[in-house]
């Protein structure tokens, strides 16, 4: 049924695509979308808000694929239109520049924006795991006959962009390879609101801990991916009662936020809900709106690690399933052991031992040195200014 709907939508877009040759783009109309049109979040949101607040000669438009989201954003004062509404179609057809977090064909109506003068890929994170043209599974999928035929008939299905945001010079080489587009070293707009900390006496204040693992298996939601995530937790000794007691002893709260494609099973979810100090976050709130409230991050292969380094707060890199992850999910761009901040974290007892150490003693000199080196390698700029840099760059070339 979904495949039939997709086919019908693409046939409709074909008409919109031909119409786009007749409708001129309007300078200053900048259109934004994110997360399959279902969220007002991430880099596009931060850049949209900057443009709306500071660039009076530009017309920023948010496009949503959810009528519920449209209604909510209108109440907030966002200039938003449903992607298939007359005004939504009109602004997408008139857009001079379009911005998105995943692709123009999933975040916006591809057939309407394909011929925009500038398609700007803001993406949604600094890749540790291989993506797009560097990911063998993705290349294999894109090379299938039906996929190549579909991209020929419906050209907006091609992953082609004019610019891609890059967080550092080091990562620009990776981004150029993965995206096949020109990287712009701007940093990420979503990090503009980060407020870095400087600990007095080196001791870390830790109250709220966030655990944010990346997905396993395919990027899409699936029982297989959920099963692999559950397996990781089980093998690493994720014992709710034991962790609850440890949090109680240290005076901390542990928040669990899985990747949007993953869910915990009902039994574990219920156990966490009944605990005193463990909490599940459903992802309805943009993490980057609350990043300054997180005192310590636990993650594995997620790009959030590199963003969080800008806060100056402790990061525990917990790759419980490194060999299995590389075999079953994704290859990595470089040696995890060579760049990790916390070596030999094999289970949740190891994690909580690190938490205790940060609370009592702060950063060791070795950890602080590795932290700074990794932060500088993956972020050319400190927090703030990314949105302004992107706008300045685009204005300098005539947009």
Q: How many CA atoms lie within 13 A of 275 on its CB side?
A: 24
**Residue 343 burial (CB count, 10 A):** 10
Backbone angles phi, psi at 288, to 5 degrees: -75, -10
pLDDT at 1 (0 to 100): 58
The H helix count followed by the E strand count for the chain is 18, 12
* 180 vs 99: which has the higher pLDDT: 99
Q: How far apart are CA 111 and CA 176, in angstroms?
A: 25
DSSP, res 123: -
Contact of 233 with 268, CB cutoff 8 Å: yes
pLDDT tens digits, one per residue of 124-144:
989 889 998 988 888 888 788
Q: How far apart are CA 327 and CA 355, in angstroms?
A: 29
Cα dihedral across residues 264, 268, 274, 276: positive or negative = negative
pTM: 0.92
* Number of residues written out for the chain: 399
Instruction: Tell me which H or E stretch contains 105.
Output: helix 104-107
Hey, which residues does 63 pair with through a beta bridge? 81
Give every strand in the sheet of 208-211, ordered side by side.
Answer: 278-280, 253-256, 208-211, 296-299, 315-317
Q: How far apart are CA 356 and CA 250, in angstroms?
A: 7
Closest of 385, 51, 376 to residue 189, by C-alpha: 385
Mean residue pLDDT across the chain: 91
Average pLDDT over residues 221-237: 83
pLDDT tens digits, one per residue of 10-39:
888 989 999 999 999 999 999 999 999 999
pLDDT at 174 (0 to 100): 93
Residue 47 clears pLDDT 90, i.e. is over it? yes
DSSP, res 51: H
Hey, which residues does 93 pair with through a beta bridge? none
Cα dihedral across residues 161, 173, 306, 197: positive or negative = negative
Crossing angle for the helix pair 169-179 and 365-378, to the nearest 10 degrees: 50
DSSP, res 60: E
Q: How far apart are CA 149 and CA 14, in angstroms?
A: 14
pLDDT tens digits, one per residue of 307-318:
999 999 999 999
Hey, which residues does 314 pair with through a beta bridge? none
* 216 vs 92: which has the higher pLDDT: 92
Instruction: Give Cα 61 distance to the centre of its chain.
Output: 21
pLDDT at 245 (0 to 100): 95
Average pLDDT over residues 140-165: 85
As to burial, measured by CB atoms within 10 angstroms (0-12 exposed, 13-18 middle, 19+ buried), residue 281 is middle
């Amino acid at each position: 049924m979904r495949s039939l709907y997709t086919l019908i939508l693409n046939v409709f877009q074909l008409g919109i695509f031909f119409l786009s040759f007749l409708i001129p783009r309007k300078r200053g109309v900048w259109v934004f979308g994110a997360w399959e049109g279902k969220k007002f979040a991430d880099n596009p949101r931060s850049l949209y808000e900057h443009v709306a607040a500071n660039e009076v000669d530009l017309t920023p438009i948010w496009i949503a694929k959810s009528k519920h989201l449209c209604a909510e954003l209108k109440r907030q004062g966002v200039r938003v239109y449903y992607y298939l509404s007359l005004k939504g179609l009109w602004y997408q057809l008139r857009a001079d520049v379009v911005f998105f977090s995943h692709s123009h064909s999933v975040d916006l109506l591809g057939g309407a924006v394909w011929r925009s003068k500038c398609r700007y890929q803001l993406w949604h994170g600094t890749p540790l795991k291989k993506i797009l043209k560097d990911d063998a599974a993705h290349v294999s999928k894109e090379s299938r006959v039906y996929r190549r035929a579909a991209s020929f008939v419906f050209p907006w299905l091609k992953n082609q962009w004019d610019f891609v945001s890059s967080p550092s010079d080091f990562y620009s080489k990776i981004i150029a390879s993965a995206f096949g587009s020109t990287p712009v070293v701007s940093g990420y707009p979503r990090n503009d609101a980060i407020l870095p900390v400087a600990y007095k006496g080196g001791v870390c204040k830790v109250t709220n801990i966030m655990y944010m693992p990346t997905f396993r298996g395919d990027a899409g939601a699936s029982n297989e991916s959920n099963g692999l995530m559950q397996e990781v937790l089980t093998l690493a000794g994720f014992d709710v009662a034991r962790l609850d007691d440890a949090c109680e002893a240290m005076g901390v709260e542990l928040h669990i936020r899985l990747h949007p494609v993953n869910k915990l099973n009902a039994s574990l979810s219920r156990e966490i809900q009944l605990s005193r100090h463990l909490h599940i976050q459903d992802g309805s709130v943009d993490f980057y709106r609350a990043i300054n409230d997180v005192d310590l991050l636990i993650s594995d292969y997620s790009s959030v690690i590199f963003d969080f380094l800008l806060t100056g707060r402790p990061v525990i890199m917990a790759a419980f399933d490194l060999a299995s992850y590389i075999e079953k999910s994704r290859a990595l761009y470089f040696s995890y052991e060579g760049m990790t901040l916390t070596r030999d974290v094999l289970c949740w007892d190891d994690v909580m031992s690190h938490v205790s150490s940060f609370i009592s003693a702060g950063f060791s000199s070795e950890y602080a040195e590795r932290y700074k080196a990794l932060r500088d390698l993956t972020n050319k700029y400190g927090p703030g200014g990314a949105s302004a840099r992107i706008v300045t760059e685009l204005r300098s070339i005539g947009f």
